[in-house]
Amino acid sequence: MPIDITMPALSPTMEEGKLAKWHVKEGDTVSSGDVIAEIETDKATMEVEAVDEGKIGKILVAEGTDNVKVNAVIAVLLQEGESADDMTAAPKAEAPKAEAPKDDAAKAAPPAKTAETPEPAKAEATKTEAAPAPSPSAKAASAQTKSAGDKVFASPLARRLAKEAGIDVAAISGTGPKGRVVKSDVEAAKSGATPLKAASPSAVGAPAAAGVAATGMKKAQVLAMYEEGSYEAVPNDGMRKVVAARLTESKQTVPHFYLNLDCRIDALLAAREQINAQAPKSKEGKPAYKLSVNDFVMKAWAVALQRVPLANATWAGDSILYHKRSDVAVAVAVPGGLFTPVVKSCDTLSLREISETVKDLATRAKSKKLAPHEYQGGASSVSNLGMFGITSFAAVINPPHGTILAVGVGEERVYPDKGEIKIGSFMTVTLSCDHRAVDGALGAEVLGVFKGLIENPVMMLA
């Protein structure tokens, strides 16, 4: 019988993706392992291979289609001896529910009501608890959002998340089958990526919108402040939506605190110059490698996490994970967002290996060719804006990481030394810590170890 080809999950958290390109067309014969399509997520573009052999009988999702749900049928594969006549009608994401016979209508009604909408009494109780005295404007907004007799189709998880966020699920535009509200719709509403239905200035203060209002102004409210034609509205792509949602979540749920130090890097710069000068050159005179200051920073931070293992930690709800390896992510800017590919066991790599690994990851990140395992995991990150002349900054922690080290530009500064005025090269680093996993004294300790390694780079080898 025909085999359904479904949208694959390229990572544990993936819920939908873009079918970027088909490598086959209807009628083509494929074998197991053949690349048949390219799937694009917010982080990567991955090739999809056929798992069975046969002939492509029907392509159900055109290339270039966005927001294709995981496990949705994208094509049908015919096996040997089968033809298009053997295919049933195109599969649907959710089949319509059969109507109950008239004689059983009274029995069927209560379960249906419980599954689709809360009981009136419970709904009223919820409203009373959330808002003892709703204002007329709030009532008006609710009336606009949900007209009499309307049913709200939403998954149980979406309902729970909406309730926890203080959002009326009826105000959320559903993108699931038949307009069903799913988890991603609630998250988009929480982050402000999609506006709520019937959102109006008078309803902003209503309890139902309080949870969303706290995440930022809605699109309609922002646009109302500017003269029409004075701007260009560019829709956010998947990457920007995910970056916005994750960083909003980080600042709202992760208790950040910040520590900063000035590191003298004269010895580091001298060592870097000496190592680069010894690099073998090709016939064209191109050196085999060229270390950057960031390569030293990555190495020093990875070693520091090994020497202060309690700081190599991530928060996991009812426990703290203390990591045995120094898997350090490095922030890479790409058009429309950023990646944080992870350098695994960074402390065990040489400076040259770190340099080559980071360059490879950064190159493939900019072309969205990273595999999920290359940008997931890790316990800490390094973000360096020194190349842009930034003196210092405080970076936002990338959950579930416990820390992120922000690195500023190396520059000459005047400093006192035993009553004398001298000039040296310094850079400022700022460590952002998740206070749930890393306390102040512990953050200060690991940052002090890092400073010692940066100022005496030979100690990275000790």
Catalytic residue among 23, 256, 323, 435: 435
Span(s) in the chain for CATH 3.30.559.10: 256-461
- CATH code linked to domain 256-461: 3.30.559.10
Query: pLDDT tens-digit profile of 94-135?
Result: 433 444 444 443 444 444 444 344 444 443 444 434 444 444
Express as a percent the part of the chain with pLDDT over 70.
Answer: 78
| Choice among 214-223, 286-295, 301-310 with the minimum mean pLDDT | 214-223
pLDDT at 370: 84
pLDDT at 79: 79
pLDDT at 85: 66
pLDDT at 99: 42
| Choice among 20-24, 100-104, 198-202 with the minimum mean pLDDT | 198-202
pLDDT at 47 over 70: yes
Does pTM top 0.85 for this prediction?
Answer: no
Mean pLDDT, the chain, as a whole number? 79
435 is catalytic: yes
| Choice among 140-149, 198-207, 302-311 with the minimum mean pLDDT | 198-207
Q: How many CA atoms lie within 13 A of 446 on its CB side?
A: 30
Query: pLDDT tens-digit profile of 326-345?
Result: 999 999 988 878 889 999 99
Q: How confident is the model at residue 423 (pLDDT cuts 50, 70, 90)?
A: very high
pLDDT at 425: 97
Token pair for 89: 């009608």
pLDDT at 441 over 50: yes
- CATH code linked to domain 3-86: 2.40.50.100
Q: Return the higher-pLDDT residue of 155 and 269.
A: 269
pLDDT at 27: 86
The Cα 330–Cα 290 span in angstroms is: 18
Neighbours of 191 (CB within 10 A): 19
